[in-house]
Amino acid sequence: MPLNIKKRGKIWHYSGSVSGRRLRGSCGTSDKAIAQRVAAEVEAKEWKRHLDGPGAHVTFAQAAIAYRSAEKPTRFLDVIEDHWQDTPIRDISGGAIRQSAIKLYPKAKGATRNRQVIVPTQAIINHAATLDWCSPIKVKRFNVDAKTKAPATQEWVEAFAAHASPHLAALCYFMFGTGARIGEAVALTWGKVDLTKRTAVLSGLKPKPWTRTAHLPPPVFAAIANIPSNRKPDEQVFQYFEAGNVKQVWDGVIERAGIDRLTPHSCRHGFATTLLQRGVDPKTVAARGGWKDVATVMKFYAHAMEDTTVTDRLFGTNPTQDATKETVTTGNKRTKQA
């Protein structure tokens, strides 16, 4: 639809949508005839930009090269680039991206299609938009069946550690006690550990270089301090060179201990869940565990307590451990009913 003009005070302004883009601005004149010409020129210029501008000829391959050159994440890109090749960006719609996900991963679930196709494809096109090559694109994600992940508990960690080697036991304690991811933990070197201050400095490169200093609670400190090592600054603390090495022995310890089969990431999950259930506010949990978004902590790591008597805390009393019993007040006497 053509741009409309409307007078505000003494000056005419234009507004409306052209080629799917919302336009609004001042005509810079109080003369209606001139204002109409200004609006018409703005509209014509926008159509020319849409049809003949850079976005009219830029291909997905070119956009992908620019994305890689900007040192953006490259995981999953090869398959996507092979699919779109020299397709002009202007011909790629949100619906087409969804169809490409189905074609590339016909047996995959929604979460995989979102992660491996929709997110990176959208990221490439939207990066091109920041270069004024095209307009940003929105893509509807596939529905994802939310799974409740089981967090590790203090009891689980202690049982695991009792059947593990000193290095693996310390690693388990460390992930549970600091919220470290498995990759961050195995990369930790003795030069980043200060046993006097009971701290460890964790670091990473994505989404951009970062560091955080983690406090070592007493059981974590004890487990690390008892690791047999020369403690050279560049020596890895837990002696596992990558996450894959941990997985090879992790399940064996679980089998020997006779405990639930949890993944190393369940320790990070348990870090957040346990602190939340023990009354630590979500913002602090996010800061101590390295989450940038408090909403992420609440969405994925907050679990409702099973004990229905937790509401006793509203009146300053502790919830009962046995849900089959309740305290009844009669006059000045308090009795328990079975």
* pLDDT value of position 327: 37
The two three-digit tokens of residue 279, written as one number:
């009354």
The two three-digit tokens of residue 266, written as one number:
């369940």
CA atoms within 13 A on the CB side of 295: 0
Encode pLDDT of 161-188 as tens digits.
Answer: 999 999 999 999 999 999 999 999 999 9
> Of all residues in the chain, what percent carry a pLDDT higher than 70?
86
317 has a pLDDT exceeding 80: no
DSSP conformational letter for 114: I
* pLDDT value of position 298: 86
pLDDT bin (cut points 50, 70, 90) of residue 334 is very low
Encode pLDDT of 120-149 as tens digits.
Answer: 999 999 999 998 888 899 999 999 876 667
Encode pLDDT of 188-201 as tens digits.
Answer: 999 999 999 999 99
Q: What integer is the mean pLDDT of 71-91?
A: 92
Is 73:206 a contact under the CB 8 Å cutoff? yes
208 has a pLDDT exceeding 80: no
E runs forming strands in 70-209 = 193-194, 199-204
10 has a pLDDT exceeding 80: yes
* pLDDT value of position 218: 95
Is 178:200 a contact under the CB 8 Å cutoff? yes
64 has a pLDDT exceeding 60: yes
Cα of first residue to Cα of last residue in the chain, in angstroms, is 74
Give Cα 37 to chain centroid, integer Å. 49
